[in-house]
Amino acid sequence: MSRIRRHGYVIEWFIGDHDPRHVHVYDSKGRFLGRFDLDTFTGHEGWKPDRKLLRVIEELQKQGRL
């Protein structure tokens, strides 16, 4: 498992986790917000991530962290 803290979010993922490729997102207090699909750039189970989180994930992908 890997974990990154950025701008009030905790983003974690598991090496070798099931498809689709996704991350688990928590707020700064550890409350689960949802799962985010990295291939389609959408939330799972109807979760709608905010723009701030989308920018954070995009930045991490550009850096090669995700």
Element (H, E) at 21: none
pLDDT per residue as tens digits for the range 3-36? 999 999 999 999 888 888 999 999 999 999 999 9
Torsion sign (Cα): 17, 56, 7, 32: negative
Element (H, E) at 33: strand 32-37
Other Cβ atoms closer than 10 A to 52: 12
pLDDT per residue as tens digits for the range 42-57? 999 999 999 999 999 9
Containing domain of residue 22, as a range? 2-62
Which structure tokens are listed for 12?
Answer: 């974690």
Q: Name the domain count of the chain.
A: 1
